[in-house]
Amino acid sequence: MSSVLKFSNASILALTLFYLLLGVSEAKLKVGFYSQTCPNAELIVTSVVKESTATDSKTPAWLLRLHFHDCFVEGCDGSILINNGDLDIERIAMAHQGLRGFEEINKAKSKLETECPGVVSCADIVALAARDAVVLSKGHNYQVETGRRDGLVSRNSLVDDFPDVNDPIQLLKSKFRNKGLSDKELVLLSGAHTIGSTACIFMINRLYKFNGTDQQSDPAINPIFLSQLKTHCPRDGDGNARIPLDKVSDKVFDDQILSNIKDGFATLASDARLNDDGITKQVIESYVGSSASKSSFGLDFGDAMVKMGRIGVKTGSMGEIRKNCSLFN
């Protein structure tokens, strides 16, 4: 009787360890997570992004920015997508004003629910769409890890630590480090500003009240560029008017933004601050110049995106798979 009991206890222990290890395995993101459960998942997302981009060339910039904004608040869990009428949701925060791309994510989700209902998370759709955005803008391809589940929390107050365009460099570095990202990855991910535009409302302090001083402009701005920026964004003008983040090639994903920063042609204050710090400045200079460096920027950007895509993910039994990306189940 005692030997049977011992065997039973050993068996239970072995099974417990097995299921614990299984749970750990299932909890990991991996490339091709949907290869068996929804083989066409990535193709469906890509088709939606391509279709939207053919209609509006601004689509890639929207989708790339959406992924960043999602990951830096509550992790990469689709919390930015919630739009349930609650006045405390994440997406209404000032830091997220001007975000677009929600329709494309919802359209992809609708198609995926028809193909394989209840399988593909909204958080993964956002990550896949961001990769497609880079590729469609002539950037380097990279493999996206999937297996995220959708979060159950979306609150305005959680956006307080989101990187701000007017943050000094040490604060920017701190905010990225708090997410497990290095100073190099701060520069690389800021390189996403090589496509897209920003609203003039985010430029006012930099152009007319730098460091809280009235009529003071950021001295890092090239004088010629300063005049152009003020023309596009007059102090009492339309705050919703938009200007390119990369004045040279805002539709092409390349490393031009780094040259802009180095030469005083950064549109955003947060980009310009990368040239204020010895470490981040050195990273910029390592990519500006030879053709080999230009190639490595694209590859390193992809690696940084993969790492960012792991921030605060919900996997395994955490979270949920939403039926509608705008609503909790």
- pLDDT tens digits, one per residue of 107-127: 999 999 999 999 999 999 999
Closest CA to 27 of 112, 181, 125, 145: 145
Q: Does residue 175 share a domain with residue 148? A: no
Instruction: Please tell me whether 77 is known to bind a ligand.
Output: yes
Is 192's pLDDT higher than 90? yes
**pLDDT tens, residue by residue, 281-319:** 999 999 997 655 556 999 999 999 999 999 999 999 999
Cα dist. 197→10, 40, 165, 200, 271 in Å?
Answer: 62, 32, 13, 10, 13
254 known ligand binder:
yes
Q: Is 31 annotated as a binding residue?
A: no
Q: Is residue 326 part of a domain?
A: no
Task: Tell me what percent of the residues of the chain surpass a pLDDT of 70.
Answer: 90
Residue 225 has pLDDT above 60, yes or no: yes
Residues 156 and 89 sit within 8 Å (Cβ to Cβ)? yes
| Residue 234 annotated in ligand binding | no
The per-residue pLDDT for range 55-86, each reduced to its tens digit, is 999 999 999 999 999 999 999 999 999 999 99
Structural domain that includes position 63: 30-159
**180, 84: one domain:** no
Rounded to whole angstroms, how far apart are CA atoms 1 and 5? Answer: 6
- Candidates 150, 155, 160, 151; CA nearest to 92 is 155
Instruction: Please give the pLDDT value at position 221.
Output: 98
Q: What is the pLDDT of residue 26?
A: 41
- pLDDT, residue 28, reads 86
Q: Are 132 and 46 in contact (CB under 8 A)?
A: yes
User: Is 80 exceeded by the pLDDT of residue 40?
Assistant: yes
pLDDT at 267: 98
**Least confidently predicted of 12-21, 155-164, 234-243, 253-262:** 12-21
What is the spatial distance between Cα 65 and Cα 71, in angstroms, rounded to a whole number? Answer: 10
Mean of all residue pLDDT scores within the chain: 91
pLDDT at 23 over 90: no
Residue 15 lies in a domain: no
User: CATH number, domain at 85?
Assistant: 1.10.520.10
Structural domain includes residue 6: no
Q: Quote the tokens at residue 187.
A: 């520069």
DSSP 8-state code for residue 244:
E
Is-above-0.85 flag for pTM? yes
Indicate the DSSP class of residue 215. Answer: T
Across 74-78, 156-160, 182-186, 307-311, least confident range: 156-160
Residue 145's beta-bridge partner residues?
31
Q: Are residues 142 and 203 located together in one domain of the fold?
A: no
| Contact assessment for residue 181 and residue 144, using Cβ atoms and an 8 Å cutoff | no
Tokens of 69: 């904004």
pLDDT at residue 97 in the model: 87
Structurally, how many domains does the chain consist of?
Answer: 2
Predicted pLDDT at 295: 60
Tell me, yes or no, whether 144 and 204 share the same domain: no
Position 291 scores a pLDDT of: 58
| Single residue among 98, 124, 159 that ends a domain in this structure | 159
List the one residue out of 315, 318, 278, 327 whose CA is nearest residue 127: 315
Would 23 be classed as within a structural domain? no
Q: How confident is the model at residue 19 (pLDDT cuts 50, 70, 90)?
A: very low
- Output the CA torsion sign for 147, 95, 302, 108: positive
- pLDDT for the residue 54: 97
Sign of CA dihedral 70, 85, 241, 126: positive
* Average pLDDT for 259-281: 97
Tokens for 152, please give them. Answer: 């159950």
Strands 197-199 and 145-146: unpaired
For residue 186, give the amino acid letter. Answer: L
Rounded (10°) angle between helices 41-55 and 59-71 = 130
pLDDT of 20 strictly over 50: no
69 given a catalytic annotation: yes
CATH of the domain at 241: 1.10.420.10
Q: Is 231 annotated as a binding residue?
A: no
